[in-house]
Copies of this chain bind each other. A is one copy, B any other.
């Protein structure tokens, strides 16, 4: 068992959950949390971080993660996400070349997937539909390059949608939770959503960080793995779950202005490669996740 872990992007939604679970499991965890002086786009900082922590495993979660509106922030997203990924890979190559890197990429990279390719296998072509998704594929290409060119120990993960307490309401389930809590308080009389026909594969953040830890322990270097439940749920069905658990019957208004220019209609994982490698099985059903996210918003 490896013991010294570095989590980059540890200040983000998933990073916080991952650090908590790693510590609970007895790992020694170092964290890199963004600040102007701890910025992974600065190579000197990244080198110091790797030299000082000499980790057995790096969980590389750092990224600017704006999806909606990523057209406007594209230069910043493309620059930061490629440069920080390069800096981490290069610093590990120079100062800790035996370190395992678990590179957290994204199912968003699949983009426009043909119906015949659903559920999505890792061999499906990546056709990203927004600059954020392009930047995540670039992160993956860099990780793959360092595996191919330097034979470094690198595992690439493509998580599908995941959610839980603490995720920003830029994402659909926290956005709905926030609105249903406002409805419970009598503050609003309708719920506004984008396209309800969109189908996604949701995993609870606790199951997702379990998957990341299993990947660090069991996956094969140079390989790419989808992580997702394997079950598709429409946003319409997600709303029905919210109605069921809140017992609130409230009108839904679909606002196309809320929709991205090019939305991915369906993203469902074929998770068989990852399950075969690790034995992972998600344990938290979506209605339980929704209850947890609602409880989070009730406390805000």
Contacts and interface: CB of A to CB of B under 8 A. Distances in A.
Contact of A141 (B43, B138, B148, B150): B138
Interface stretch (A74-82, A185-193, A228-236): A74-82
Contact of A145 (B75, B86, B130): B130
B144 A130 contact: no
Copies of this chain, whole number: 2
A134 B129 contact: no
Contacts of A165: none
A87 interface: yes
Contact of A138 (B43, B112, B134): B134
A266 interface: no
Contacts of A83: 75, 78-79
B145 A134 contact: yes
Contacts of A133: 145
Contacts of A142: 131, 134
Contacts of A261: 149-150
Given A112-B148, A129-B148, 8 more contacts: A41-B75, A71-B90, A75-B83, A75-B86, A79-B82, A133-B145, A134-B142, A137-B138
